[in-house]
Structure 1
């Protein structure tokens, strides 16, 4: 069973270590037993922070807090790629349905996702593709403050599609908020 994370206390194999105190003070090179004794005096753990240096560097700290902060750093560094969300409309959409779907699209864009808007045509509705284009133009106009058109409206078979992506906020605009 392989252990993940840094070694602590008795798990450290080196006989001598470079010891750093809890406030960052240097104790110098001491034996492992001396370092463990000092850690116990403080009521904290001895954690191996730099295993590849000679001698290895150990620090007296709260191991649980250290692991928690490391996991927070990893989550912060993990960049979530934008996900493509999709919202489907019909050419004969009612105003309330339009507003509801538009609010969902706004939420997707504000969370940093791209959105593909699809107008689905059935049967004789194919004769009124201009109505679908009007709906897509209205969506683009209603969302122009938070989104920009990624791909213009295109008719593909019985569907008309348009892509939206969140607008990039400049640093000056961000300071105003």
Structure 2
């Protein structure tokens, strides 16, 4: 804005069209109109307009605020189990997953292998398959089970 523009020439966009002017002359025109010279985009030469600086800043802030309101962050909840989980504990995990899925959260279901349990990764896959069957009526899409270190996990989306 105004003196912060470093280039020697600017492309001034006005009602009459575009013209390339020295920065000093464009700044002088803005001062005569009682407005500010604002750099709109970086190019060679930079594109500038003569506008009210306060109003321009307000419009930019308003657009940023509107775009933040339109964004929707999706939170992921995680449920952890081991392959030695008991049936009652398994049902409790399913109930919490159903609660998360009905609220619209993504659910990451993980099976953790301890010690030599990693050699029985098929048991972990079966456990995840059983889990997915129990909540299948709430799940639109699911990923394939992935093994990351000692964790086998799957992502369920409502």
- Calculate the TM-score normalised by the size of structure 1: 0.47
Structure 2 unaligned blocks of 5 or more: 114-122
For 2:80, which of 63, 88, 91 is the aligned residue?
A: 88
Partner Cα distance (1:51, 1:69) in 2: 25
Partner Cα distance (1:49, 1:31) in 2: 17
For 2:2, which of 2, 9, 18 is the aligned residue?
A: 9
Partner Cα distance (2:143, 2:138) in 1: 10
The answer for the alignment partner of 2:42 in structure 1 is 50
Q: CA-to-partner distance for each residue in 1:46-80, whole Å, 9 max, x for gaps?
A: 21623423xx43223445257548967x98xxxx9
Does structure 1 retain, via aligned residues, the 8 Å contact 2:40–2:48?
yes
Counterpart of 1:163 in 2: which secondary structure?
strand
1 or 2 for the larger relative contact order (CA 8 Å, sep ≥6)?
2
CA RMSD across the alignment = 4.8
The answer for the alignment partner of 2:50 in structure 1 is 60
Counterpart of 1:10 in 2: which secondary structure?
helix
Q: CA-to-partner distance for each residue in 1:78-102, whole Å, 9 max, x for gaps?
A: xx9x997521355313867643332
The answer for the alignment partner of 2:26 in structure 1 is 35
- Calculate the TM-score normalised by the size of structure 2: 0.51
Does structure 1 retain, via aligned residues, the 8 Å contact 2:94–2:131?
no
Count the aligned residue pairs. 134
Partner Cα distance (2:156, 2:94) in 1: 19
Partner Cα distance (1:140, 1:162) in 2: 15
The answer for the alignment partner of 2:145 in structure 1 is 151
Deviation of the 1:10 alpha carbon: 0.6
For 1:136, which of 131, 135, 141 is the aligned residue?
A: 131
Q: 1:25 to 1:100 in 2, by over 3 A?
A: farther
The answer for the alignment partner of 1:102 in structure 2 is 98
